[in-house]
Structure 1
Amino acid sequence: MGAALVASPAGGMDIETVAQETPHLLKTVPIDIYEGITDKVANEVAEFLKFTGPLKKKCAEEIKKLWELFTKVDATQLEINPLVETDDGRVVAVDAKINFDDNAKFRQADIFALHDDSETDPREREAASQNLVYIDMDGSIGCMVNGAGLAMATMDLINLNGGRPANFLDLGGGVGQSQVSAALKILESDPKVKTIFVNVFGGIVNCATIANGIVAACRERPPKHPLVIRLEGTNSQAARKILESSGLRVTILDDADDAAKTAVKLAQQ
């Protein structure tokens, strides 16, 4: 997977709608990261966007400059809508949206210093400070998972069994005990949550670390909601023993579907 240039002369419209209803008005060009946007590609896109005469050359130049900007700032998305022709014969990007690669923060310190946290969910900020990812949703089941794929599968299981996720908190791969404890506290702080479903598959993640973090958090602050826990993979048996010997009132299940059903049932009580 690499970068791609997506262009449409149907400016101002939702691009998904354009793709569905008028696919002939959408042009997608894969970009070789080493070659970049060539003159040939830039001119083809400018022509597709219906720029003619001297404006076609100006549009092509703007497209090449946008690629230079994209790579210079470590962007993951650079969206221009619209790219317009002015009365005095210029081609101008009137509005822009840029997303930056978080992994390039060390190179783009000046850009990331402009970030404004004032409108960010406090739970999302707290999760980020622990190198965790928190996404808020509108249901009643808090989800602690590791990895985006398992997060999506967990939410699908909850929905299939008649429930709705209130959020999901992704522990990632290199999580430690203190981060697990912080994650549980973040999920508990969401007023929508009625049950917490921990669904972790231990590969890089050690299930015993997850169990110890849960026990530590619950001993520091007794949980307000039922906990349904499914830990599979690395040291999962040791993790089960840790949880069972802790004296905590938690539900431990091996099957993900059974665990999701139980979490939905508890949330509905």
Structure 2
Amino acid sequence: MKLHEYQAKGIFADAGIPVPDSQLAESVEEALDAVDEIGYPAAIKAQVHVGGRGKAGGIKIATDRDEAETYAEEILGMDLKGYTVETVLVESGVDFVDELYVGVTMDRGEGKPVLMVSTEGGVDIEEVAAESPDAIAREHVDPAFGLHPYQARKVVYNAGVDADVAGDVASIVSTLYDLYEANDATEIEVNPVMITSDRDVVAADAVMNIDEDALFRQPKLAELEDEAYEDDLERKAGEYGFDYVRLSGNVGIIGNGAGLVMTTLDLVDYYGGAPANFLDIGGGAKAERVTNALDMVFSDPNVDSVVFNIFGGITRGDEVAKGINEALSGYDELPKPVVVRLAGTNAEEGMEILNTDLLGVEKTLEAAVQRAVENAKEVSA
């Protein structure tokens, strides 16, 4: 779950991180009232869950009231990378002489949180990582012991931050890690941290993403969720009680077990396809769950074909097949080709009764995946 900049900055400010004075506005009139109170120069910043707002015209610096009115009119209501801007953050301008990047995220390769600091702030950190990886200093934190103060100082020193502000920057690093840990965050960053001519350190931006699976522990944060940005398919998966992750490919994947689904994803990639999703419908495959799963993958415009990987364990294969047939009974023709691989208890009996007029059936997972990949290529050709 992503927080808006103003929400994250509120949390940062409560934790003691210096942030600019700001006010939220939903109309041009509110924006002008805010900028009159805050003073000039003032930044008018679109509050949408997208990156690169500045490059896309979603952040403007007003030096007088006429500019403030013009920019507020331009930004409010604009389409910014597919989202309509309904709110802006009016924020006092910062007279800065330097910009830094500070962040905390999970390094999945190491299995540990990692602190990151760079003196190349104010630009996309992904570009810095790709073009100048050595420009980002990193320090891993053992979650069993937490962040030691020397680690925050170390990563700031290794980044080459000026000595006269290094202590303040290290304090921000430590506070960000505390917030990361306490709020079940998956990512938290400031880009840029601005250094003023008076050598003050100010968080001029704020990114904070929360682990959705941990929201039951974070009821206050859960209240901040903006449902307008929730993916329709992910919302539907929540209603159906599925574990679902949308991916960027075109081969839809359904399985009754996380291990089965992960194996199928790997094989789709291995055979030259691109997975469109991770969809685990849980144990068994009753007709209602199969119907809901097919509804989800058929609703995804990116999906060109579907592979169904089912293992009959406690639930017998013939019962699974009956559930699949019942789910298919509402279709005269499937909107997208479906291939089923059925294994486990009574798998042969199940394969014999599957409705092969509507779907393809393969005895092995490898064959099912290859067929689904070929189906996707034919559909997208």
TM-score where L is the length of structure 1:
0.80
SS across alignment from 1:143? strand
**1:227 is matched with which residue?**
338
Confirm or deny: 8 A CA contact 1:195 1:226 kept in the other structure.
yes
Query: How much does 1:225 deviate?
Result: 3.3
| Partner Cα separation in structure 2 for residue 79 and residue 209 of structure 1 | 50
CA–CA distance in 1 between the matches of 2:313 and 2:119?
Answer: 46
Structure 1 residue 171 corresponds to structure 2 residue 280: yes
When you count strand as a share of all residues, which structure comes out higher?
2
Aligned equivalents of 1:71, 1:205: Cα separation in 2:
40
Aligned to 1:44: 154
1:126-141 to 2 correspondence within 5 Å? 126-132=236-242, 133-135=244-246, 137=248, 139=250, 141=251
Deviation at 1:224, TM superposition (A): 3.3
Please, which of 75, 95, 101 is the counterpart of residue 185 of structure 2?
Answer: 75
Instruction: Give the Cα separation in 2 of the matches to 1:217 and 1:30.
Output: 49
- What whole-Å deviation, never above 9, does each CA across 1:184-207 have from its counterpart, x for those lacking one? 111123345443211346789986
**In the superposition, relative to structure 1, how do residues 240 and 5 fare at CA in structure 2: closer, same or farther (>3 Å)?**
farther
The answer to whether the Cα contact below 8 Å between 2:268 and 2:370 also exists between their aligned partners in 1 is no
Structure 1 CA distance, aligned partners of 2:299 and 2:265? 22
Instruction: Answer whether contact 1:185 1:217 (CA < 8 A) is retained.
Output: no
> Contact between 2:342 and 2:350, CA under 8 Å: does it hold in 1?
no
Separation (CA, whole Å) in 1 of partners of 2:193 and 2:320: 50
Matches within 5 A, 1:102-181: 102-132=212-242, 133-135=244-246, 137=248, 139=250, 141-145=251-255, 146-147=257-258, 149-158=262-271, 160=272, 164-165=274-275, 167-171=276-280, 173-174=282-283, 177=286, 178-181=288-291
Deviation at 1:182, TM superposition (A): 0.8
Structure 1 residue ranges without an equivalent (≥5):
none
- Is 1:101 paired with 2:101? no
Determine whether 1:253 maps to 2:379: no
Query: Which sections of structure 2, spanning at least 5 residues, go unmatched?
Result: 1-110
- Size of the aligned set, in residue pairs, is 261
User: Who is 1:242 aligned against?
Assistant: 350
The alignment partner of 1:257 has SS state of helix
Query: Are residues 48 and 263 of structure 1, via their aligned partners in 2, closer, same or farther at CA, if it must alter by over 3 Å?
Result: same
Query: Structure 1 counterpart of 2:238, which letter?
Result: A
State the match for 2:165 in structure 1. Answer: 55
Structure 1 distance, partners of 2:351, 2:372, is 17
Question: Deviation digits for residues 154-188 of structure 1, max 9, x if unmatched?
Answer: 43145x2xx555x2242165576333331111112
Native 8 Å contact 1:79 1:97 kept in 2:
yes
Residue aligning to 1:22: 132
Distance 1:41 1:203 in 2: 49
Larger Rg: 2
State the alpha-carbon separation in 2 of the partners of residues 24 and 67 from structure 1: 22
The alpha-carbon deviation at position 266 of structure 1 amounts to 3.7
**Secondary structure of the corresponding residue to residue 224 of structure 2:** coil
Is 1:7–2:101 an aligned residue pair? Answer: no
Native 8 Å contact 1:173 1:204 kept in 2:
no
1:72 Cα offset (Å): 1.4
Map Cα deviations across residues 240-259 of structure 1 (whole Å, 9 max, x no partner): 42343244533221333322
CA RMSD, aligned part only?
3.1
Residue 191 to residue 73, structure 1, CA distance change in 2 (3 Å): closer
- Once the two structures are TM-superposed, the CA of residue 119 in structure 1 deviates from its matched residue by 3.4
Separation of aligned partners in 2, 1:86 and 1:246: 70
Counterparts of 2:182 and 2:350, CA distance in 1: 49
The sequence identity of aligned pairs, in percent, is 29
State which drifts further: 236-245 or 196-205: 196-205
Which AA in structure 2 matches 1:155? V
1:113 deviates by 2.2
How far does residue 239 in structure 1 lie from its aligned partner after superposition?
A: 4.0
When normalised by structure 2's length, the TM-score is: 0.59
